[in-house]
Chains A and B, each alone.
Chain A
Amino acid sequence: MTVLILLAKIFIMIGFLMTMAVLLTWVERKQSALMQDRIGANRADIFGFRMLGLFHPLADAIKLLTKEDFIPPSGDRFLHTLAPWIAFTTALAAFAVIPFGPPVHLFGREITLQVADPPIGILFVFVITGLSIYGVVLAGWASGNRYGLLGALRGAAQTISYEVSMGLSVIGLLMVFGSLSPAAISEAQGGLLFGVFPRWGILVQPIGFLIFFTAAIAETKRIPFDLPEGESEIIGFFVEYSGMKFGMMWLGEFVEIVVMSGLIAVLFFGGWQVPYLTPAGFLFPGGGSIALPEGIVLGLQIGAFLGKVVFFCWFQMLVRWTLPRFRYDQLMRLGWKVLLPLSLLNILVTGMVLLTWGA
């Protein structure tokens, strides 16, 4: 039974991620179009129905599946095939520890709404995103293409640099909430700050959030940090990829966006917490309260989590279509000379504040 439940959870999770990723390819097109006063892709139609261009992901899939899968003669067949799988699965796996909602009691069992809740959950996310570098490096190396290799090197350097600041930026948060488990962190954010504000990570650790968000965009390798890819100008690590292997790299990137949004929601925006919503219903600081049945509370909480994820996907797209790309030295300077000292300072200040006033 436990295994069945686990399998069901994995199934739902992968389904959710894939759906979101596929939808994001559509959102990317439409949102950028709206931001630039255009209309965006709307030509793919089935029997004359266009559905605002929602069939374009389908058309993409058909195109990618029927394209020739080319492996350059100077490349390594095995690694070339392996790399997109690494990139894709690591992106998917990181979502395993992110809780969708509070534990549910069903038929006398407690079901957590996440695939796994290891006590070192946050560490697991960093480990997995760390592994995703292999996808990039192997893709560049196995292509047997110098541009690909250079892109992979840029990718590796960038991912390693920003992983450091990313890891350090959440330490302050972990100190405040005293746990490494995403479920426990979500749970802890239900409290109130000064009895008024929800005790969300963004309010406790605003600097931590800024660093984390910047590093998260760098991790997803998107503008302004898209040096590893730079499709049209500086040529990235997957230049020698075609067909569905390219599709996996591409989809993996969108999955990463969803994962990062989930992570930001869990760490800094209360995860599934709705402000002032307790298991019994709303309880406002002024004294008012609305009692709600358990089912509705649960629905609201899961809805809140999904809403936060969707919002941050949207926000990352907004950033991507607003900013220009960093130059390589600017990227490194920002990572090592600004974000890293800032995150260390953040830990120091958090520690001092915690020591002085207590948690």
Chain B
Amino acid sequence: MKKDRISQKRLNFPERLYLAEILRGLWITGKHFFRNFLMHIGRALGVVKKRRGAVTIQYPEECRPIPAGYRARHRLLRREDGSPKCVACMMCPTICPANCIHIRAAESPDPTIEKYPVEFRINLDRCVMCGFCVEACPVDAIRMDTGVVEMSASDREEFVTVLDFLLDSKPAKNPV
């Protein structure tokens, strides 16, 4: 005979009386209550320092640490002289699965460099944060290491990041 995949444990008599089991449940929740209660008081008095009474992270004030390598909002890197490192090779708009990078190239005044971007827009509304653009870039001009994950705006236009903004973005301070 095929065995039933879900095996249900039959309750024995004391368990079926519920009473002891209910008390056990109350004991567990009650323990949590008093432990956390004392912990909160201890923290308020400064006695308890390390442990906390709750697993809650109070979000706007506290944030979870962002690991290194986390794909956050993009930034463009500069050369030593401050000009954009990007050579407008169009690798990133080509690979971008969301088709959200828009570049307009122009001839570079520097004879050793062929092109540079006059316009570089990333529409974050469409970006899927895949990081392909970073992988594709031959000159390491684009990275996603700003650590900015809170992207909100009241207007769609605000989600379109432009060249200067991308160039001025700073890398995250100290990723874990």
Name A's B-contacting residues (CB within 8 A): 31, 33-39, 210, 318-319, 321-323
Neighbouring A residues of B36 by C-beta, 8 Å: 34-35, 37
For window 1-38 of B, CB contacts with A under 8 Å fall at 19, 22, 25-26, 28-30, 32-33, 36-37
Measured in the bound complex, the distance between the Cα atoms of B54 and A31 in whole Å is: 12
Cα(A33)–Cα(B33), bound, Å: 8
Residues of A within 8 A of B30 (CB): 35, 318
* Cβ-defined partner of B32 (8 Å) among A37, A39, A210: A37
B residues less than 8 Å from A33 (CB atoms): 54
Within 8 A of A (CB), among B50-85: 53-56, 58
The 0/1 profile, CB within 8 Å of A marked 1, for residues 77-100 of chain B is 000000000000000000000000
Q: Which residues of A contact B56 (CB under 8 A)?
A: 37-39
A210, B29: Cα distance in complex, Å: 20
A-B contact pairs, 19 of them (CB 8 A): A33-B54, A34-B37, A34-B53, A34-B54, A35-B30, A37-B36, A37-B53, A37-B54, A37-B55, A37-B56, A38-B54, A39-B56, A39-B58, A210-B19, A318-B26, A318-B29, A322-B22, A322-B25, A322-B26
Q: What's the Cα separation between A34 and B40 when bound, in Å? A: 9
Apart from A36-B32, A38-B55, A318-B33, what are 16 other A-B pairs with CB-CB below 8 Å? A31-B33, A34-B33, A34-B36, A34-B40, A34-B53, A34-B54, A37-B36, A37-B53, A37-B55, A38-B54, A318-B26, A319-B22, A319-B26, A322-B25, A322-B26, A322-B29
How far does the alpha carbon of A192 sit from the alpha carbon of B118 in the complex, in Å? 94
Chain B residue nearest to A315 in the complex (CB)? B26
B32 touching A34, Cβ below 8 Å: yes
Residues of A within 8 A of B40 (CB): 34
Q: Most B CB atoms within 10 A — which of A31, A37, A321?
A: A37
Interface residues of B toward A: which range?
Answer: 10 to 19
Contact of B29 among A38, A39, A321 (CB under 8 A): A321
Tell me, in angstroms, the Cα distance from A38 to B40 when the chains sit together. 11
> Could you say which residues of chain A place their CB within 8 Å of the CB of B33?
31, 34-35, 318
Residues of A close to B37: CB separation below 8 A? 34
Q: How far is the CA of A187 from the CA of B33 in the complex (A)?
A: 34
Query: What are the residues of chain B within 8 A of A34 when measuring CB–CB?
Result: 32-33, 36-37, 40, 53-54
- Chain B residues with Cβ under 8 A from A318's Cβ? 26, 29-30, 33
Q: Which residues of A contact B25 (CB under 8 A)?
A: 322-323
Q: In the complex, are the beta carbons of B19 and A39 less than 8 A apart?
A: no
Could you say which residues of chain B place their CB within 8 Å of the CB of A322?
22, 25-26, 28-29
Closest residue to B30 on the A side, CB-wise?
A: A318
Minimum-distance CB pairs A-B, first 6? A39-B56, A322-B29, A34-B36, A39-B54, A35-B29, A35-B33
B19 — which chain A residues lie within 8 A by C-beta?
210
CB pair A35 B32 closer than 8 Å: yes
A37 to B36, CA, bound (A): 7
Are A323 and B22 in contact, CB atoms less than 8 angstroms apart? yes
Chain B residues with Cβ under 8 A from A323's Cβ? 22, 25
